[in-house]
Amino acid sequence: MQLIDNWKDALSMTSVQAGGAVAVLGIAEQLMPSLQALLPPIAYGALGLLVMIARVIVQKKLRK
């Protein structure tokens, strides 16, 4: 496995932040079942799509 050149900046990447949000929502939903009524299943698909889009967009904050 080969890491990207700027792997130390991973937490600054929008795609990593969006992926983290998806993970946190998934965990929160399991710990608090009442959240399942607030978050429709399509939300995870939409957030996953956001991660994919964020991954391919140039992020100026990462440019040096």
Report if residue 37 sits inside a domain.
yes
Tens digits of residue pLDDT in 36-48: 788 787 888 888 8
Domain membership flag for residue 3: no
Please count the structural domains in the chain: 1
Structural domain contains residue 7: no
pLDDT at residue 61, as a whole number: 65
The pTM of the whole model exceeds 0.75: no
Domain range spanning residue 37? 15-56
Give 29: exposed, middle or buried? Use CB within 10 Å, 0-12, 13-18, 19+: middle
What does the alpha-carbon distance between residue 8 and residue 1 come to, in Å, rounded to a whole number?
16
- Please state the rounded mean pLDDT for residues 21-50: 85
Kindly report the length of the chain: 64
Q: Take residue 16 and report the two structure tokens written for it.
A: 């990593």
Amino acid making up residue 40 = P
Give domain status of residue 40, yes or no.
yes
Whether 32 is in a domain gets the answer yes
